[in-house]
Amino acid sequence: MPGQLFSQLHPDWQLLLAVDRLLIDQIETLLIGKDITPDFSNIFRALTTPIADIRVVIFGQDPYPTRGSAQGLAFSVTVTENRVPASLRNIFTELANDCGAAVRTNTDLSDWSSQGVLLLNRILTTQTGTSLFHTDLNWQHITDAVAAELGRRDVVAICWGRSANEVSRFFRTEWVVSSVHPSPLSAYRGFFGSKPFSKANAILTENGDQPINWG
């Protein structure tokens, strides 16, 4: 019976997305019995954080299609994985160059999430083994609603790639950090050297907030 997916949401997000309850239940029905990633229990993991705790949002495209990789936080990978996805490897390279630190090796980005960084894909599920398989499920309507609420709250938005930049319109221009996607197909066309981590921290500190420890 539909409703299990909606129940994953933090009460803040349940209140905000109550108007979209029917759509969420319809998506849940379409996912029942399907081989999807992330696991059903992690689909709304990013939205288990209270809205008021969110200071930065990083928008991705859709989950890693490899079984066991996606964990419900955009770009984050379970530490049991034996390989680092190419996009995440490029993110860590840019992080090291941007912040002058050693290249991060911990692929689980939960520490970012715990500091108020929302890691949200535009499309929250896909079929295992196939990227963008659920483009037509209308997940974008849900994530647009999330972006609109965060934009009203002056959350810093880091938008990587065309899909992510579609939501930049919900945020004040000066609170948006955007570039091409960190995938190998585009990283050398503007992601490397874009300094998203230091730029996001600069916006936070300029507005009286603590910077994120990107690790």
Q: What is the DSSP string of 154-167?
A: T-EEEEESHHHHTT
Give the per-residue pLDDT at 83: 80
| Protein fold of 6-206 | Uracil-DNA Glycosylase, subunit E (3.40.470)
The token pair that represents 170 in the structure block: 């919900």
Catalytic-role residue among 62, 108, 154, 209 = 62
- C-alpha closest to that of 113 among 6, 13, 8, 212: 212
- C-alpha closest to that of 194 among 95, 100, 128: 95
Which residue in the block uniquely carries the two structure tokens 């066309």? 189
- C-alpha closest to that of 162 among 139, 142, 179, 141: 179
Which tens digits make up the pLDDT trace of 14-46?
999 999 999 999 999 999 999 999 999 999 999
Give the per-residue pLDDT at 81: 63
Give the per-residue pLDDT at 78: 85
The residue ranges of the chain whose pLDDT is under 50 are none
Residue 108 annotated to the active site: no
Q: How many helical (H) and strand (E) elements, i.e. helices and strands, does the chain have?
A: 7, 6
Give the per-residue pLDDT at 68: 87
Give residue 107's region: left, alpha or beta (phi > 0; psi -120 to 50): alpha
* Cis bond upstream, residue 38 (ω within 30): yes
Question: Which CB contacts under 8 angstroms, 24+ apart, belong to 104-110?
Answer: 104/214, 104/215, 106/79, 106/215, 107/76, 107/77, 107/78, 107/79, 107/81, 108/71, 108/76, 108/77, 108/78, 108/79, 109/73, 109/75, 109/76, 110/73, 110/76
CB atoms within 10 A of CB 171: 23
Give the per-residue pLDDT at 152: 97
